[in-house]
């Protein structure tokens, strides 16, 4: 490519609505252009990156035996009604009526459509397993679109759907996709981590997320350096800390006026925070009847609401109101505790709390706490559950070391769906005995356009973006010095350009005639990973200047060896 | 590709709603699957064809210097309001509201968005010319979607937009795109014709349509075998036939009871139809005031309404009502004529009618016609205009021969838009004198998915589709006979498959284990253009059987020469 025939448009400043670095850099590098809230035109440089990302995904999906098709954007409401998602999905589902008043969804994902395809196409176990995918535009009407491509409304996703005859088959298809995703992210050249995830609203029996590691990531990833345990914070199991000691103190009601926070109580009483218990009051309403739960966490731990919702009876919990707390505990928030409530309630203690002895908790009385509280003696043994987020240094649930935490950006998700969709939509096949059985389904997504944002959050410096070779808009830029003045430079540039193209290098020659500073800063901002400068002075000595985007200084390379040198750098 | 890892699903019968052959064959061949009215999933075989079509278009657009980007599907109403198209476009424009009640269009085309991009990106004449394109899903809420991909609602289009500093530049960009389109359609291997077209609603100063020639096509294409003149029927100029002779007959009122059609009058009076004039009454209403026009055509000619609308004063014509005809002419339709109307009116004669003498026309009296009518003597000289469709054998407007007519399917359209959009949206650049001037724009579309339907309408037989090599889902199919029984066959298939892949042939091996008849009929239906049969009997003699999709019989080819033979067939 010649820059004079391409469209490069960089900015000194990012627009003020670009809050995060990837959004700022993509705007400044002219990769995207805002059309509306969460809606972007992919400019030529940005589209080149998207195409490379798509190309790698496509190759690995095909290698894994998945078959590409293309499902429509505009999908009849009737299909979404069959699975109940027409009602379940809120305003995120963009709905539209045609000229006849018929309702449609603009697809956020395609489980319904692929299940509709499959229920008419798959008749026999002989046709299984099968895995269909497409790379297609999606729309989700996010409440607050932001962060450029990270949380856009219109975006590109690769979504694949596997169909199997039984659970073992589904699990094999799932593993096959897991492995394909691992190859995809390795080929991108990004640091990533696959973590076990909660299945969430999509249902099913198992799932993993693929995260690009970045300190700016929204998600906390839990992993064990000594083993391959990894889960996102929602799903990471927290083991009990310590073992329960025998009671050594008497239960003592202590005055703690105005101290509603554990930290303040700890300071007042000079008792370590790890000896305090935090009480959280919940209410569950069922057909007008209210039941009450008190959750107990060690004071320095954080509640994990996903885990709470999995405790028996707490699927539809909410936090109690102040009025309810007054009724149940006879006091105000800040002084609650498991001892001496006014109304019946169920106490659920986090595993670590259940192991505590001589702990501090609220006394269900304004301005008072108990010290020296003990299970079995002062209060009945609680229900025990995993209620908290893990913290760095917790024991790994696989018993093989301790947990660490890093930040990530979710860019892929694989799900075992089981028969949720196939049963709702009547997608069955005839098994070996000629009996109809529901298809076992998996679904697998990669956020294509989001990859761009995530890759930048992981790879940038104060000059701009630093693309990995595999997804860079160009692998190499040739920067001629004074191409218009020097025949020697011009000839060498054309020769090198032709040789590099013949060698399969994705090269752009900057023939715009800019001064060196402006030229270099453009390509550093855009993030092309390799640069060769062709100048008369170097040429007279038979040399060109190579500089990698992360290199501090340039390297002199003989003219004749440059193509081989570049091929070496690119591993070609 | 191995058929066992691909998804092939053919049908014996097409669904009853498939009215035309391309729709029937695509459904039977499993290339598309209906999701809703005018909305199709592109199944794996269909998607392969689409990708090949897109690939050729992309290569030729890039070769022509156009730059690819990707504009959003969901586009803010505000942009469409700037050009007035939000109101001008009827229900074909699919409109949608987001969660905040803001209005959007699902793009049927992207003039507004690209003009918005360009008005902020293009500042100087130095950045011109520039041509941006994308290949993107479109939606048009057709009143009556039908014919499969030929008139769908969701479809894929390549649309390009050129921007120039002046009209000469725009014309050069237009010619550049015209040439690129010619290369594209040549590479598809389709018989096509570019014809001059009316600009229609999109406005501007010139346009051509590209049509795939097919006897089932909706459009009539006019061309001259002796020259390069070509236009669609709407735009093809009709010259006058004959020269006006001196009057030889007296004007005579003749009784023609019940004969309201020219053909019936001609038969009754025994006067050739070519001597009769057909009268068509029009009304134009302007601010409540009506004016009347009478159009005159030779009786065997057809009215061309596009041409009528270009006659001065007739832009907003309508056909007169029976009541108006009674008021103006004092009679009923069937007996109208230019002589002796009751109210003032303007007579507009087609060029051929203006050259007639001693003609027959209605007498403005029930059951009477005139014979021997003559211009200047019996009625004032009319306004003369081109009002009719051309017919086979008409003189070519370039004076170089006679016109022929064939049927075509429109698959591409190029337009000179001028400044219509740039002025409406304030898209200006600074010229060499530093003065702002509106950008001169062109737009260029190819109906990607429609190409599939058009190609089939041109290339099919009673067995199925016959794809040209360049856009076939596979170039070649290998059909092994008894692969599961014969080691010899199996080995040869694998060897040949590997060699063909290495030679860059897009080959599929049918390893499904079907009996020969079922296997052959699948591939004939799908339309793979080349087939090689590998059987034990032939192998023992060192031969394989080759058959082209259009060949009547197979050809024996030595095993060792097959790869070269196929490469020769494919021109590789």
Digit-coded pLDDT (tens) for B85-96: 999 999 999 999
Q: Residue B333 contacts by C-beta under 8 Å, 6 or more apart in sequence?
A: B260, B281, B322, B325
Q: Does B53 touch chain A (CB under 8 A)?
A: no
Picking from B44, B139, B143, the nearest residue to A74 by CB comes out as B139
Q: Residue B552 contacts by C-beta under 8 Å, 6 or more apart in sequence?
A: none
Say what angle helices B21-28 and B448-458 make with each other, to 10 degrees: 100
What Cα–Cα distance (Å) separates residue B473 from each residue in A84, B8, B505?
Answer: 37, 12, 12
pLDDT, position B205: 63
Residues in A touching B44 (Cβ below 8 Å): 67-69, 132
Q: How far apart are CA B508 and CA B166, in angstroms?
A: 51
Q: How far apart are CA A415 and CA A208, in angstroms?
A: 7
Q: How confident is the model at residue B198 (pLDDT cuts 50, 70, 90)?
A: confident
Strand partners, B351: none
Interchain proximity B99–A141, CB inside 8 Å: yes
pLDDT reading at B202 higher than 80: no
- Among A477, A408, A421, smallest CA distance to A447 is for A408
Q: pLDDT tens digits for B146-166?
A: 899 999 999 999 999 999 999
For A372-381, b where at least 16 C-beta lie within 10 A, e where not — what string? bbbbeebbee
Q: pLDDT tens digits for A474-513?
A: 999 999 998 888 999 999 999 999 999 999 999 999 999 9
Q: Residue A188 contacts by C-beta under 8 Å, 6 or more apart in sequence?
A: A53, A56, A451, A455, A468, A470, A471
pLDDT, position A159: 98
Interchain proximity A117–B41, CB inside 8 Å: yes
Q: How confident is the model at residue B199 (pLDDT cuts 50, 70, 90)?
A: low
What Cα–Cα distance (Å) separates residue B305 from each residue in A133, A148, A176, B315, B388?
Answer: 48, 50, 62, 10, 8
- Among B208, B175, B181, smallest CA distance to B59 is for B181
Q: Does B42 touch chain A (CB under 8 A)?
A: yes
Q: How far apart are CA B424 and CA B82, in angstroms?
A: 6
Which residue, chain included where needed, has tokens 């120039």? Answer: B164
- Mean pLDDT for all residues in chain B: 95
pLDDT reading at B437 higher than 80: yes
Mutate to test the interface with A, among B15, B28, B35, B514 (most CBs of A within 10 A): B35
Q: Does A1 touch chain B (CB under 8 A)?
A: no
Q: What angle do CA B185, B190, B191 make, to 5 degrees?
A: 100
Can you list the domains of chain B with their CATH numbers? 15-237+405-457 (3.30.930.10), 252-385 (3.90.960.10), 474-570 (3.40.50.800)
B193 close to B410: Cβ distance less than 8 angstroms: no
Interface of A with B in 57-76 (CB under 8 A): 65, 67-76
A225 close to A400: Cβ distance less than 8 angstroms: no
The interface predicted TM-score of the complex, written ipTM, equals 0.91
Which alpha helices (DSSP H) does A104-255 contain, by range?
111-121, 167-188
DSSP one-letter string for B74-137: EEEHHHHHHTTHHHHS-TTSEEEE-TT--EEEE-S--HHHHHHHHHHH--BGGG-SEEEEEEEE
Q: pLDDT tens digits for B289-301?
A: 999 999 999 999 9
Å between A440 CA and nearest CA of chain B: 19
Neighbours of B434 (CB within 10 A): 8
Q: Residue B377 contacts by C-beta under 8 Å, 6 or more apart in sequence?
A: B247, B251
Interchain proximity B91–A68, CB inside 8 Å: no
Interface contacts (A, B; CB < 8 Å): 139
- Among B387, B388, B325, B399, smallest CA distance to B362 is for B325
Residues in B touching A72 (Cβ below 8 Å): 35-36, 39-41, 154
Q: pLDDT tens digits, chain A, 572 residues: what are they?
A: 999 999 999 999 988 888 899 999 999 999 999 999 999 999 999 999 999 999 999 999 999 999 999 999 999 999 999 999 999 999 999 999 999 999 999 999 999 999 999 999 999 999 999 999 999 999 999 999 989 999 999 999 999 999 999 999 999 999 999 999 999 999 999 999 999 987 655 555 689 999 999 998 989 999 999 999 999 999 999 999 999 999 999 999 999 999 999 999 999 999 999 999 999 999 999 988 999 999 999 999 999 999 999 999 999 999 999 999 999 999 999 999 999 999 999 999 999 999 999 999 999 999 999 999 999 999 999 999 999 999 999 999 999 999 999 999 999 999 999 999 999 999 999 999 999 999 999 999 999 999 999 999 999 999 999 999 999 999 999 999 988 889 999 999 999 999 999 999 999 999 999 999 999 999 999 999 999 999 999 999 999 999 999 999 999 999 999 999 999 999 98
């Amino acid at each position: 490519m010649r820059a004079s025939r391409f469209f490069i448009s960089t900015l000194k400043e990012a627009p003020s609505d670009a809050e995060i670095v990837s959004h700022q850099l993509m705007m400044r590098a002219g990769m995207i252009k805002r059309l509306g809230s969460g809606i972007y035109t992919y400019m030529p440089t940005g589209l080149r990156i998207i195409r490379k990302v798509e190309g790698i995904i496509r190759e690995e999906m095909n290698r894994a035996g998945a078959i590409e098709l293309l499902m429509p954007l505009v999908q009849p409401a009737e299909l979404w009604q069959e699975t109940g998602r027409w009602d379940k999905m809120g305003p995120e589902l963009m709905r539209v009526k045609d000229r006849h008043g018929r309702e449609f969804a603009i697809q956020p994902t395609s489980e319904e459509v692929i299940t509709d395809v499959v229920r008419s196409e798959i008749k026999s176990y002989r046709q299984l397993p099968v895995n269909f995918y497409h790379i297609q535009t999606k729309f989700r009407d996010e409440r607050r679109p932001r962060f450029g491509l990270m949380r856009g409304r219109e975006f590109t996703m690769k979504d694949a759907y596997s169909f199997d005859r039984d659970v073992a088959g589904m699990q094999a298809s799932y593993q096959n996709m897991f492995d394909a995703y691992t190859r995809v992210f390795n080929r991108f050249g990004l640091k990533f981590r696959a973590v076990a995830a909660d299945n969430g609203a999509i249902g099913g029996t198992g799932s993993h997320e693929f995260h690009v590691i970045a300190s700016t990531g929204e998600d906390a990833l839990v992993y064990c350096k000594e083993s391959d345990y990894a889960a996102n914070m929602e799903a990471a199991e927290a083991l009990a800390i310590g073992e329960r000691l025998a009671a050594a103190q008497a239960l003592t009601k202590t005055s703690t006026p105005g101290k509603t926070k554990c930290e303040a109580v700890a300071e007042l009483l000079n008792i370590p925070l790890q000896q305090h218990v935090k009480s959280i009051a919940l209410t569950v309403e069922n057909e007008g009847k209210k039941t009450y739960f008190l959750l107990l966490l060690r004071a320095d731990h954080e509640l994990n609401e996903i885990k709470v919702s999995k405790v028996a009876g707490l699927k539809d919990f909410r936090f109690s109101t102040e009025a309810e707390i007054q009724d149940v505990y006879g006091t105000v928030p800040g002084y609650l505790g498991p001892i001496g409530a006014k109304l019946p309630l169920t106490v659920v203690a986090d595993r670590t709390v259940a192991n505590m002895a001589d702990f501090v908790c609220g006394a269900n009385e304004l301005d008072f706490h108990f010290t020296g509280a003990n299970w079995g003696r002062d209060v009945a043994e609680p229900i025990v559950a995993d209620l908290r987020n893990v913290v760095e240094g917790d024991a790994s649930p696989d018993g093989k070391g301790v947990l660490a935490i890093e930040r990530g950006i979710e860019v892929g998700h694989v799900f075992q769906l089981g028969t949720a969709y196939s049963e709702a939509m009547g997608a069955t096949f005839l098994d070996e005995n000629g009996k109809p059985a529901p298809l076992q389904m998996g679904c697998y997504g990669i956020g294509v356009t989001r990859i761009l944002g995530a890759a930048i959050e992981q790879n940038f410096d104060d000059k701009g973006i630093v693309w990995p070779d595999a997804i860079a808009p160009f692998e190499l830029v040739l920067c001629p010095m004074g191409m218009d003045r020097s025949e020697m430079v011009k000839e060498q540039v054309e020769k090198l350009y032709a040789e590099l193209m013949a060698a399969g290098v994705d090269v752009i020659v900057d023939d715009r005639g800019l001064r060196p500073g402006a030229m270099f800063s453009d390509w550093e901002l855009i993030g092309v990973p390799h640069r060769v400068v062709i100048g008369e002075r170097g040429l007279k000595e038979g040399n060109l200047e190579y500089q990698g985007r992360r290199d501090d200084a340039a390297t002199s390379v003989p003219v004749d060896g440059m193509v081989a040198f570049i091929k070496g750098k690119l591993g070609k």
